[in-house]
Chain A
Amino acid sequence: MEKHEGGVALAPGDTTAVYEIYIKTTPERLWEAITDPAMRARYTFGVQVQSDWSKGSTYTSSVPGVIDISAGENLEVDPPWRLVQTMNALWSDDVKAEGTSVITWEIEQVADSCRLTVVHAQLRPDGNGEIYGGWPMILSGLKTLLETGEDLTTPGSLLYSGASA
């Protein structure tokens, strides 16, 4: 595994997806939006993430009582700049078979904005695209939430609203 400055370790032969978005906000607000269950749920279709966010701790993503989305370990936690997590998808038998991948969130301040890069690595070659296919929608919703304080209505954003009723 090689590392580059501020970077993400990409192994040869690794199957990786990379997403980048600029958001007009502070690193601290962005970090909060990623790690706070209530804020997170507003742009992840109602899915909450629970963790104590210490290095080596575990996290779970779910709509409590309705569906488990994913779980994993927080490999690196460096607020408000960097979070590295393993991910085991849980929402269907198909995605469970994809095994463990690694998600790196990197935040850089650029003038009055932040560049957020999400690198989803160690994906299975020719694996199920559902594992990482939701990122553009999620990141778009995150940008809208931080820049306007409002929820972005995207297809699927109401997926789990009222689902627990």
Chain B
Amino acid sequence: MMSGMDEVFKALADPTRRQLLDELYKHDGQTLTELESRLPMSRFGVMKHLKVLEGAHLVTTQKRGREKLHFLNPVPIRLVHDRWVSKYAEPWAATLTGLKRRLEDENGEA
């Protein structure tokens, strides 16, 4: 449950659930009613998909008064990224940072 990468991939392997994440990416912190209005789907269907997304921690909820707001939690996707990508990306970032610093130093001297 804690590592949960299987849940993340399963949750993402469905176009409706990806669409729900798209909706939250566009406008974070929506109620079930708001999300339901954006998808051609029953309230029950949206609830079912949200439950899968919550189980994968891709969606997290906070209460505002009596409303339950749904938020996109990008952290599990970041963990997937960091597992396979980051060590390769780092030298690039370091090089670019070094390049930026050199260029700025040159500008400073000019």
Contact = CB atoms under 8 A, between A and B. Distances in A.
Given A2-B64, A17-B28, A19-B73, A139 B78 contact: yes
Interface residues of B, number: 28
Interface stretch (B14-22, B36-44, B87-95): B87-95
A140 B75 contact: yes
A159 interface: yes
A153 B86 CA distance: 6
Interface in B33-85: 57, 60, 62-65, 69, 71, 73-75, 77-79, 82
Nearest to A104: B62
| In the complex, the 7 A-B pairs of residues with the closest C-beta atoms, listed nearest first | A136-B78, A155-B93, A18-B71, A10-B64, A4-B63, A2-B65, A153-B90
Interface residues on A, range: 35 or more
B73 A156 contact: no
Contact of A10 (B63, B73, B89): B63
Interface string A102-123: 0000000000010001010000
Given A10-B29, A17-B71, A19-B60, 4 more contacts: A140-B78, A153-B90, A154-B90, A155-B90
B2 interface: yes
A104 B78 CA distance: 21
Interface of A: 2, 4, 7-8, 10-12, 14-22, 24, 113, 117, 119, 135-137, 139-140, 143-144, 152-159, 163
Given A16-B29, A140-B78, A22 B4 contact: yes
A19 B62 contact: no
